[in-house]
Amino acid sequence: MSDLPPVHEASQTSSASKQREVRIVTGSRLHFGLLDTVDPFGGVGVMIDRPVTEVVAVTAEQFDYRGPQLARVRTIAERIARFAGLGEQLPACRIEIARSAPTHHGLGSGTQLSMAVAEGICRNLGIRVDSEMLATALAARGKRSAVGVHGYFQGGLIFEASSRPGPLNKIQRRVELPGQWCVAILCPTTQDEAVHGVEEAERFAQLAPADPNLKRELMRIACEDLIPSAAAGDFETWSLAIHHYNRSSGMLFAPIQGGPYNGTNVDALIQWLMDRGVTGVGQSSWGPSVFAWFESTEHAEPIVGRLPDGVELIALARTKNDGRVLEESN
C-alpha cells in the first residue's frame, strides 16, 4: 500500500486566512467471505461506488462534531491528538459527515467512515502519517479483514493474502471489474439481528479454525475461478464463482448462524433470486445485505423492478475501480 503524500508537520490554527477544508468521498465494500475464522483470516471483497460516504474536515477554533457517530469520531480525534503530541487538546477542526452508508448492513460502512474521518483530520492539520499507520493505529481498522482498507485507497476487487507479516494483511491480487457489470444491493425489511462489535468478536471466539479441505477449496475457487474470470471479463464464470465462494465461505460460520447465510430472511431472498436465474448472489459479510450481480443495468432492471414484498433495494451499484476522491482547499 502506498504511503500518503508528504504534508506539513502537525499544527493547530484558527486563523480565517489559514482555513483549510478537506473533503473525502468514498464508496462501500462488499465482502464475499473469509478464508479462515482465525488470524490472519484472508478473503475476497470488492469496492462499489454506492452507497457513498462523504466526510469534510474544516479548520475551526476547536474540535467540533455533532451527530450520531460522535463516539466513533471523537475516539479517532483522541488517537490523532496523542499521535500528534497535542496532549489533551483535540484537533482544531470541524467534522461534517455529509453522506454515509447504512450501518450494520455488511457494507463496510465503519471502515470507510473511520478512514475518511482519520485522513480528513490528519490532512486538515498537516499531520504526516503513512497509509498503514492511518488505518491500523488512527482509524483502528483492518484487524480481521483489510479489504476495506485497501479498497479505500485503491478500489477494485481485492484478494487479501492469508498471511500477516505486519499489522495489515497485504494484497495478493487486485483486479478491476468491467465497467458495465453492476450489482444490486438488497435487504430484507424484516431483519434478523445484525452482527457487529462485541457480539461479532464473541461469535468469532466460538469458531474453530477452518477445516483444511474447505480452506483449500476456497483458495482454489479464488485462484482458479473467481480472480481469472474477473480479469478476463467472463461474467458467466465470475457470477457462478462468486456464489460458490460466498456460500462455501459462509459454511465457516454455519455452527453459529445455522447455515451459509445469517438468517432465514437472507436465505429466502437469495433463493428467490436464484429461482429467477440470477447466479451471482450471496451475503456480504454478516449481512443482512444481499448482493446480486448482473452483466449490465439492462439485465438487472427486470429483477430489481419486481422485488417481492419485504425486500428493499439499497443501491444498484458498479465496481469502484479507483480509490477515495480527495479534495483539499485553503
pLDDT tens for residues 217-266? 999 999 999 999 999 999 999 999 999 999 999 999 988 888 999 989 99
pLDDT attached to residue 144: 86
* Residue range 100-149, pLDDT digits in tens: 999 999 999 999 999 999 999 999 999 989 999 999 999 999 988 999 99
pLDDT over 90 percentage in the chain: 79
| Secondary structure of residue 327 in the 3-state scheme | strand
* Phi and psi torsions of 169, nearest 5°: -60, 140
**Bond into 288 cis (ω within 30):** yes
Q: What span, in angstroms and rounded, lies between the C-alpha atoms of 223 and 217? A: 10
- Cα distances (Å, whole numbers) of residue 109 to 148, 180, 296, 309: 9, 24, 25, 26
Q: What span, in angstroms and rounded, lies between the C-alpha atoms of 321 and 303? A: 25
Answer for the pair 31, 157: CB distance below 8 angstroms, yes or no: no
pLDDT attached to residue 198: 60
| Secondary structure of residue 317 in the 3-state scheme | strand
Q: Which residue has the higher pLDDT, 199 or 190?
A: 190
Task: Evaluate the CA torsion angle 293, 104, 221, 135 in order and state its sign.
Answer: positive
* Residue range 17-51, pLDDT digits in tens: 478 999 999 999 999 999 999 888 999 999 999 99
Confidence of residue 330 (pLDDT cuts 50, 70, 90): confident
Task: Evaluate the CA torsion angle 81, 117, 151, 292 in order and state its sign.
Answer: positive
pLDDT attached to residue 199: 67
290-294: strand order across its sheet: 281-283, 290-294, 182-188, 311-317
Single pTM value for the model: 0.91
What homologous superfamily does CATH list for 182-317? GHMP kinase, C-terminal domain (3.30.70.890)
Q: Are strands 157-160 and 182-188 parallel, antiparallel or unpaired?
A: unpaired
Residue 70 burial (CB < 10 Å; 0-12/13-18/19+)?
exposed
Please list, in sequence order, all residues whose beta carbon lies within 8 angstroms of the beta carbon of residue 178, skipping any fewer than 6 positions away.
233, 235
pLDDT over 70 percentage in the chain: 91
Per-residue pLDDT, averaged over 87-95, amounts to: 93
Could you tell me the residue ranges of all domains in the chain? 16-175+321-329, 182-317
Confidence of residue 164 (pLDDT cuts 50, 70, 90): low
On average, the pLDDT of the chain sits at 91
pLDDT attached to residue 80: 97
Answer for the pair 29, 45: CB distance below 8 angstroms, yes or no: yes
Q: Does the 16-175+321-329 domain belong in CATH 3.40.640.10?
A: no
Confidence of residue 205 (pLDDT cuts 50, 70, 90): confident
Q: Is the pLDDT of residue 202 over 90?
A: no
Per-residue pLDDT, averaged over 1-24, amounts to: 57
Confidence of residue 2 (pLDDT cuts 50, 70, 90): very low
Q: What one-letter code names the amino acid at 215?
A: K
pLDDT attached to residue 15: 41
Confidence of residue 56 (pLDDT cuts 50, 70, 90): very high
